[in-house]
Structure 1
Amino acid sequence: MHFDDTKRSLFKRKKEITTDNLLPWIIDAQQFLEKCTQCADCISVCPENIIIKGDGGFPNIDFDLGECVFCGKCADVCKEPIFTATSASPWQKKALIKQTCLAHENIYCRSCAESCEAQALTFQLGISAIPIIDTDLCIGCGACVAPCPTKAIEIKELK
């Protein structure tokens, strides 16, 4: 009988864990991965229900489910030393618009701007109005992500 060891990888932890949408106020992604117990307390306490079990079972924010209101409950409920004080800035993430935006196809759509409470989105005039994000006003809450019909907006850490 031949033993197929490739199937064992289903039960092994991936070498690389995606850390794109970790929770706000995380001190350091590596420290988070080392010390998070995956207890899911942060998931159950989130009033917006946007925290899910993500890559490797670690909590992640799914902006397709809604926006983060930065209530701080996820950081407050955590028993591990992986969060900064919630009085500090939650993160340096901002919204980024990809080429799949309908405006690049000359289709009128302003769903992103209509959902942005911070009014960080404006439109460049032309044949079609191309959305422009004011990174000084954008807080990276993700309110613009879910309403986008082409999933052309993502929240990313500024480097």
Structure 2
Amino acid sequence: MSTSRRGFLRGRFSSDSDMQRPPWAIPDGAFEDACTRCGECLRACPPAILVATAGGYPAVDFSRGECSFCGDCVSVCKPRALQREDVAAVPWRLKAAIGDACLARRGVECRVCGEACGAAAIRFRPSLGGVAQPLFDAACCTGCGGCLAPCPAGAIAMRNEVEMSE
């Protein structure tokens, strides 16, 4: 986490670059140079999951819902901070990660994330004499974030694939 001195003194302990950029965002650094913070992508987002950070840059807030990967944010981005060169282009390298706070892993029956996952990346394996345990298939996960908001324990986070392999 990189925190500026000014941000630290104002009580802001994360920078705008710590936020998840919208889908098809160009790499950090170039994104900040290109983005004019006009807010067009925020207004164009049908599920309204794009929000303005403290610095005015767009970021994804998965607590508001999931990304539908419609591309509307890209189509209105005049400065081309969001670029979708190919229809098959991957929007980002995000995957869900189920943490230790998971209710099922703590012996409480819960399958909310599996029910919310349209890609069937989260399924539940029955456990003899116990609660069904979550099975996560990273290859199926689209990174839409649909499982994050419904989780009653806040046990799911969206992580970059690079972070997960470290």
Is TM > 0.5 for Structure 1 vs Structure 2?
yes
Amino acid at match of 1:89: V
Alpha-carbon distance between aligned partners in 2 of 1:50 and 1:16, rounded to the nearest angstrom:
19
Aligned pairs, how many?
152
Unaligned stretches of 5+ residues in structure 1: 1-5
Alpha-carbon distance between aligned partners in 1 of 2:13 and 2:112, rounded to the nearest angstrom:
36
1:60-117 CA-to-partner distances (Å, cap 9, x unmatched) read: 1111110000000111101113223261111111111111111122001000010111
Alpha-carbon distance between aligned partners in 1 of 2:29 and 2:146, rounded to the nearest angstrom:
27
Alpha-carbon distance between aligned partners in 1 of 2:14 and 2:21, rounded to the nearest angstrom:
17
TM-score by length of structure 2 reads 0.82
Label 1:142 to 1:15 Cα distance change in 2 as closer, same or farther (>3 A). closer
Unaligned stretches of 5+ residues in structure 2: 1-5
CA contact (8 A) 1:20 1:156 kept: no
1:133 and 2:133 matched: no
Moved more, 44-53 or 75-84: 75-84
How far 1:128 sits from its partner (Å)?
2.4
The percent identity for this pair of structures is 38
Alpha-carbon distance between aligned partners in 2 of 1:64 and 1:49, rounded to the nearest angstrom:
11
Structure showing greater Rg: 1
CA contact (8 A) 1:25 1:83 kept: yes
CA contact (8 A) 1:20 1:157 kept: no
How far 1:14 sits from its partner (Å)?
8.0
Map of 1:3 onto structure 2:
none
CA contact (8 A) 2:104 2:131 kept: yes
Alpha-carbon distance between aligned partners in 1 of 2:117 and 2:59, rounded to the nearest angstrom:
22
Map of 1:143 onto structure 2:
146
Map of 1:56 onto structure 2:
55
Amino acid at match of 2:37: Q
